[in-house]
Amino acid sequence: MATKRIELRRLVALVAGALRPPPGPGRIMLALACGITVHLVFAAAVFAMIAAMFFGMSRSLGTVPWPWAALTNALLLLQFPLVHSVLLTRRGGRWLTRLMPAPHGSTLGTTSYAIIASIGLLALFVLWTPTEVIWWRADGITFWVIATAYAASWLLLMKASFDAGAEVQSGALGWMSLMANRRPVFPDMPVGGLFRLIRQPIYAAFALTLWTVPVWTPDQLALAVCYSAYCLLAPRLKERRFAARYGERFDRYRASVPYVLPRFAPLRNSSDQQ
């Protein structure tokens, strides 16, 4: 509970600082421009992702002729995980700080990252060229069961993102911190909410969205297999960063909480984790 109160106070302070920014017209205009951009692109990417996968990737705007469409789709599949992983490295972080005017690049790092990641996802789901082959389409009660599971998977993803720090996941931390003219204060190591059950709930929930769709096509299968593998392997890099940052605290957390499959058993030493 103490950790939740601290996080809530941090969020309130972030929003309050953004609503009452200190003077600096140029800084404020840059922060607002970045804020509008990141949230518009983020919302468009999420909407495109939900809609495209709901129809099994059978409806999109890509019109590349075959067989070149196969190469284009493969590049679209690979660009997001590759860029996503590179930008999370130290070199990628330094590159992000150079994208915005000095001296605000470092403050806007999380916002720049969210913009680039959202553009990558939007490109994948809008520019995909469908095979126009549909293997199976749910109907009747089966459709409603699967559609409910699909919606539940997205709700889990939203919950996991909130538990990890919604302001970081959405890109709000950077531009709101710039508005308040302060250094970004990142959330603490997440151990509450869904993070009490597994260490990687965001990746697990995203993997669930890939497999709970009511329409199955070769396109959806390629997406599900590729990104499920990414959801299993990519968090290893994240955990290396956490181990270096939090040391023994993360080691204790990792020893007591499973990776992606929950044990549904009471956690031990939860007070130590928090």
Tens-place pLDDT, residues 57-91:
999 999 999 999 999 999 999 999 999 888 888 88
Kindly provide the b/e burial profile for residues 184-204, where b requires at least 16 CB atoms within 10 angstroms of the residue's own CB. Answer: beebebbbbebbbbbbbbbbb
pLDDT digits (tens, 9 = 90+) for 86-109: 888 888 888 888 888 888 888 999
> Which amino acid does the sequence have at 221?
L
What is the C-alpha separation between 196 and 270, in angstroms, rounded? 9
**pLDDT value of position 98:** 87
What is the C-alpha separation between 41 and 35, in angstroms, rounded? 10
Q: Residues 6 or more apart from 238 whose CB is under 8 A from it?
A: 88, 200
For residue 274, what pLDDT band results from cuts at 50, 70 and 90? very low
Burial of 125 (0-12, 13-18, 19+ CB in 10 A): buried
For residue 38, what pLDDT band results from cuts at 50, 70 and 90? very high
pLDDT digits (tens, 9 = 90+) for 132-143: 999 999 999 999
What is the C-alpha separation between 142 and 214, in angstroms, rounded? 8
Asked if residue 265 belongs to a domain, the reply is no
Is the pLDDT assigned to residue 265 strictly greater than 80?
Answer: no
Q: Residues 6 or more apart from 209 whose CB is under 8 A from it?
A: 53, 150, 153, 154, 157
Asked if residue 270 belongs to a domain, the reply is no
In this prediction, residues 197-204 reach a mean pLDDT of 95
E-state strands within the chain: 136-137, 215-216
Is the pLDDT assigned to residue 268 strictly greater than 80?
Answer: no
For residue 5, what pLDDT band results from cuts at 50, 70 and 90? low
Asked if residue 266 belongs to a domain, the reply is no
Asked if residue 45 belongs to a domain, the reply is yes
Asked if residue 107 belongs to a domain, the reply is yes
For residue 266, what pLDDT band results from cuts at 50, 70 and 90? low
Q: Number of structural domains, the chain?
A: 1
Q: Which residue has the higher pLDDT, 150 or 270?
A: 150
**Which tokens sit at 26?**
């140029």
Asked if residue 269 belongs to a domain, the reply is no
Asked if residue 267 belongs to a domain, the reply is no
Asked if residue 272 belongs to a domain, the reply is no
**pLDDT value of position 228:** 96
The residues with which 215 forms a beta bridge, in sequence order, are 137
Can you give the residue range of the structural domain that contains 230?
2-260
